[in-house]
């Protein structure tokens, strides 16, 4: 199929583009910076590139012409001047939907996030919910994915955790560390995208994506330490102490270490039922420990 991908230069997008090409699809990606290493990587895979910005539909609407599916991955985890959650998640998705409608795309696949819903507490999740509503109310056949935390060699979260385990005598943990997540490998997420675009069962569906096990943050740290062969104590810090740090970080740092929105998300369980993912998308996800071992110590 001819597939247009937004957000292909990102952590998840690079894997999605690679998997689509491996599965024989003809891939065109929306790219903001033609000379970037990520654009070069996509070119090297065999993808075609179109320059444009999701906030400016005029820059890419014609590039979608001829595409049968549009995979919309663009999303942000913290706000910047000129790129609020509302602008990127809601307006950006409406622009992508407009491009899909104009070009009569047969499947629109939207990358949402686990934890979204009408009662979501974080602005990140609230705006993902608004974007989902726009997708559902469009007349374009759609599939929506809501993944839990995604792991991979290029995940910023996991790179930070590897760095902490490598360099520090203890691993910092916010609060009691009992809040849970269901980490899924980026390759498994990419497989879900590739397996859904021409899958009739996936039309009009919203899938929660996760790995095979729900793990507390403490357990995730234990797994990382085991895989890296390091013994580390955990240093738990009270949430009440971390909150002002997050508040300051999002106001003072261009790329915040932690925001209050991220703190809200982290402290809420992020686990799901993956029965539909297994049955309809035919993806059997790898567990965190096996996935990290394969990543850090490939045979």
User: Which residue lies nearer to ligand NAP by CB, 164 or 236?
Assistant: 164
Position 55 contacts ligand NAP (CB under 6 A): yes
Instruction: Pick the binder of ligand NAP from 47, 61, 63, 74 (CB under 6 A).
Output: 74
Cβ of residue 134: shortest distance to ligand NAP, in angstroms?
A: 14
Name residues whose C-beta falls within 8 Å of residue 30's C-beta, 6 or more positions apart in sequence: 4, 5, 6, 7, 8, 50, 51, 52, 54, 60, 63, 74
Position 10 contacts ligand NAP (CB under 6 A): yes
Instruction: Pick the binder of ligand NAP from 4, 5, 11, 283 (CB under 6 A).
Output: 11
Is the Cβ–Cβ distance between 125 and 115 less than 8 Å?
yes
Position 88 contacts ligand NAP (CB under 6 A): yes
Cβ of residue 12: shortest distance to ligand NAP, in angstroms?
A: 3
Cβ of residue 257: shortest distance to ligand NAP, in angstroms?
A: 16
32-40, 191-199, 257-265, 281-289 -> range binding ligand NAP (CB under 6 A):
32-40
Instruction: Pick the binder of ligand NAP from 5, 17, 73, 271 (CB under 6 A).
Output: 73
Position 32 contacts ligand NAP (CB under 6 A): yes
Helix (H), strand (E), coil (C) string for the chain: CEEEEECCCCHHHHHHHHHHHHCCCEEEEEECCCCCHHHHHHHHHCCEEEECECCEHHHCHHHHCCCCEEEECCCCCCCECCECHHHHHHHHHHHHHHHHHHCCCCEEEEECCCCCCCCCCCHHHHHHHHHHHHHHHCCCCEEEEEECCEECCCCHHHHHHHHHHHHCCEEEEECCCCCEECCEEHHHHHHHHHHHCCCHHHCCEEEEECCCCCEEHHHHHHHHHHHHCCCCEEEEECHHHHHHHHHHHHHHCCCCCCCHHHHHHHHCCECCCCHHHHHHHCCCCCCHHHHHHHHHCCC
70-78, 93-101, 168-176, 221-229 -> range binding ligand NAP (CB under 6 A):
70-78
Cβ of residue 150: shortest distance to ligand NAP, in angstroms?
A: 4
Instruction: Pick the binder of ligand NAP from 63, 90, 109, 113 (CB under 6 A).
Output: 113
6-14, 62-70, 101-109, 221-229 -> range binding ligand NAP (CB under 6 A):
6-14
Position 9 contacts ligand NAP (CB under 6 A): yes
Position 54 contacts ligand NAP (CB under 6 A): yes
Instruction: Pick the binder of ligand NAP from 147, 187, 285, 291 (CB under 6 A).
Output: 147
User: Which residue lies nearer to ligand NAP by CB, 147 or 291?
Assistant: 147
Q: Give the Cα separation of 133 and 155 in Å (integer).
A: 28
Position 126 contacts ligand NAP (CB under 6 A): no
Residues binding ligand NAP (CB under 6 A): 6-7, 9-13, 30, 32-33, 38, 53-55, 73-76, 88, 111, 113, 147, 149-150
């Amino acid at each position: 199929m001819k597939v247009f991908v937004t957000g292909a230069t990102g952590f998840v997008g690079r894997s999605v583009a690679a998997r689509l090409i491996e599965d024989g699809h003809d891939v065109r990606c929306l790219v903001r910076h033609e000379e970037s290493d990520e654009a070069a990587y996509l070119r090297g895979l065999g993808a075609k590139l179109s320059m444009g910005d999701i906030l400016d539909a005029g820059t890419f609407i014609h590039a979608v012409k001829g595409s049968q599916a549009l995979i919309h991955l663009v999303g942000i985890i913290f706000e910047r001047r000129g790129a609020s959650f509302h602008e990127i998640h809601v307006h950006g998705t409406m622009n992508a939907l407009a491009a899909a409608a104009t070009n009569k795309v047969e499947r629109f696949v939207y990358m949402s996030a686990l934890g979204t819903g009408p009662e979501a507490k974080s602005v990140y999740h609230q705006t993902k919910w608004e974007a989902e509503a726009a997708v559902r109310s469009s007349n374009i056949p759609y599939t929506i994915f809501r993944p839990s935390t995604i792991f991979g060699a290029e995940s910023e979260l996991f790179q930070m955790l590897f760095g902490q385990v490598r360099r520090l005598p203890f691993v910092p943990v916010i609060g009691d560390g009992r809040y849970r997540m269901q980490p899924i490998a980026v390759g498994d997420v990419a497989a879900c995208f590739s397996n859904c675009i021409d899958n009739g069962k996936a039309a009009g569906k919203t899938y929660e994506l996760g790995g095979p096990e729900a793990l507390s943050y403490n357990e995730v740290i234990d797994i990382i330490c085991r895989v890296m062969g390091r013994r580390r104590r955990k240093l738990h810090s009270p949430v009440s102490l971390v909150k002002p740090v997050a508040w300051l970080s999002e106001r003072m740092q261009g790329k915040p270490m932690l925001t209050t929105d991220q703190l809200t998300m982290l402290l809420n369980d992020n686990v799901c039922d993956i029965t539909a993912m297994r049955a309809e998308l035919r993806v059997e996800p790898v567990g965190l420990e096996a996935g990290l071992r394969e990543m850090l110590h490939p045979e």
